[in-house]
Amino acid sequence: MQPLLYETLVPFYHLLDPLEDHAEEGAEFGDVLREAVPGAKSLLELGAGAGHGAYYVKRGFTETVLNDLSAPMLARSAALNPDCAHVEGDMRTLRLGRSFDVVLIHDAITYLTTPDALGEAAATAFAHLRPGGAALLVPDCTVESFVESHEDHSGDDPARSLRALAWSHDPVPGDGMHVVDFAFLLREGAGEVQALHDRHVHGLYPEATWLEVLGGAGFAVESVRRPLPEEYRGGPYTETMFLCRKAP
């Protein structure tokens, strides 16, 4: 079952994760991919969510296809990115029957909670790349970077208000997962404030597992430095991302 944030709470999503926060990183992901594949024109993002990152990454590509498991998140992305095609589906099994120059999987990859599931997503990326293409995988954290932490968020628009606490912790150390428990206080218009708990379960792997799984999918893998946004420092986030090349 998907977290509430990607289903009933999608109308509040932009208050938790504002579009502008993706500008710098989105541009940098695009630069890394174009440097890896000079002349790249087509981009597939798996798990593109609300399309906030894609809004910036897509610049410089002539064709962008965005995938996600959540129909409401895709609908939000379609409103923001009307120039992109949107495809609902699970990144572990998606097969579009065509290839792209580059593939991006950003934070959605953290929702794959076993190395086998990670391998299936890597196989999807591989299957959608032309020879000589490259995929960039950007996990939120690894075993090496993880620390228990919490963040608070707030946002308002004319129709809604959100206050939230996101607590990243690891209830069962060593089980390959951690959780982010969100405590939401939400208000629509002048209505009553509603309190909700939303648990997000994430995979938590050492860098060695990432390298092994991605290599096992057929990629030549390189760890590259992630330009971590300033507000992420001190949290569980890793400064490593994985550039995966498919042989020409």
Ligand X SMILES: C[S@@+](CC[C@H](N)C(=O)[O-])C[C@H]1O[C@@H](n2cnc3c(N)ncnc32)[C@H](O)[C@@H]1O
CA atoms within 13 A on the CB side of 143: 12
- Give yes or no for residue 236 binding ligand X (CB under 6 A): no
Q: For ligand X, give the closer residue by CB, 2 or 62.
A: 2
d(CA 66, CA 51): 8
List the one residue from 15, 37, 43, 50 that touches ligand X (CB under 6 A).
50
As measured in angstroms, the least distance from the Cβ of 45 to ligand X is 8
Q: For ligand X, give the closer residue by CB, 20 or 152.
A: 20
Burial track 90-111 (b if 16+ CB lie within 10 A, e otherwise): bbbebeeeeebbbbbbbbbbbb
- Give yes or no for residue 136 binding ligand X (CB under 6 A): no
What are residue 195's DSSP bridge partners?
185
Beta carbons of 126 and 46 less than 8 angstroms apart = no
What are residue 105's DSSP bridge partners?
46, 137
Q: How many CB atoms lie within 10 A of CB 45?
A: 28
As measured in angstroms, the least distance from the Cβ of 73 to ligand X is 4
Reading the block at residue 56, the tokens are: 């910036």
- Give yes or no for residue 51 binding ligand X (CB under 6 A): yes
Q: For ligand X, give the closer residue by CB, 165 or 220.
A: 165
List the one residue from 32, 65, 69, 123 that touches ligand X (CB under 6 A).
69
What are residue 134's DSSP bridge partners?
102, 245
As measured in angstroms, the least distance from the Cβ of 2 to ligand X is 6
- Give yes or no for residue 22 binding ligand X (CB under 6 A): yes
List the one residue from 30, 47, 133, 235 that touches ligand X (CB under 6 A).
47
Residues forming the site for ligand X (CB under 6 A): 2, 6, 22, 47-53, 68-70, 73, 90-92, 106-108, 111
